[in-house]
Structure 1
Amino acid sequence: MVKCCSAIGCASRCLPNSKLKGLTFHVFPTDENIKRKWVLAMKRLDVNTAGIWEPKKGDVLCSRHFKKTDFDRSTPNTKLKPGAIPSVFESPCHLQEKREKLHCRKNFILKTLPVSNRGHQLVGASCIAEFQPQLIFEHSYSVMDSPKKLKHKLDLVIIELENTKESLQNVLDREKHFQKSLRKTIRELKDESLISQETASRLDAFCWECCQESTA
């Protein structure tokens, strides 16, 4: 499974040629204090719990979110210096809008903060007031509904589409019938000399134009 950077808006993926491009990926620290600082620096919320996002085993951040001075390049394998904290994050326009909407929601309440594997909260209560206005409300890319529910929704959409097609065809059939009736009436009026040939031709042409527009 290809690992992806956990930072909001970052599309970096750990591929075989990543290192050749100077891109490295780093797991979250095991030290709870350092891990907390990483999480706060990311300003990411979990959309499912409305709490601060907590990294899972295997989650990584790419080197784009660290300064050059954060790395130890004295060894063949590029490593982060002890205590290095990510600090390079960009906020795309659409994420900025989501953050502003979140900040304006009067009824939004930050739920109980996630607990780490060691039983300690990643973020203390004193940090909430400081960082809550800056947190980015993450878009969830996971499918929340079960396959059965999704299939049911798809079936409803298909049924609605078929009904729409049927309604449209009925409208076209009625219009076609109306066009035939109108042309028949024009011919009858011309045959009874109630309208001139010129008028009949213009009315017939008008019917033809309307018919073409409706089927275009």
Structure 2
Amino acid sequence: MPGSCAAWGCKNRHIVQTRLRGITFHKFPKEIKLRKQWETALRRKGFSASEYSLLCSEHFKPEDFDRTGQTVRLRDGTKPSVFSLPTHLQKKVTTRTTQTSIKAEESLSVETSLKFQQSKPKEETLHNDHNYALPATLAGLKARLNEVLARVESLERDKRNLKDRERRAKNASN
């Protein structure tokens, strides 16, 4: 008997048609602490996962998967985080008010406003009919490369900060 995704409002079933669409299904972890985190992330009142409970791949970020082998697997410690919940089940997002987070937010808003102020040449916008196509001019290509390199640098900085935060949390719990 095919299983269904345990997420609220998700209609994906573990059948051939969903597999052909690239959707994979994953059992709840056996580790109790991680299993409880998955159950909490679902936000279903009174839900307790059985050994047959499944979650589909639509509730995980693309970077949560290990696609190196023939079988698509979740990385260790991954938690589901992509849900389309109704407003009464959505988590309230609180903004941080430390000086460091305020400065980081201000610098981010300045960077994005500078990007929007720069305008593309008309020639480039005429020939660039797809957002994934390369710019027609050398200057446009160089600008696109600089954008991508800046994004990579930003992501690496974020990754380093997250690793530091994780290390501090582990040290604090010990």
TM-score norm. by structure 1 comes to: 0.40
Q: Who wins on radius of gyration, i.e. which is larger?
A: 1
**Higher relative CO (CA 8 A, sep ≥ 6), structure 1 or 2?**
1
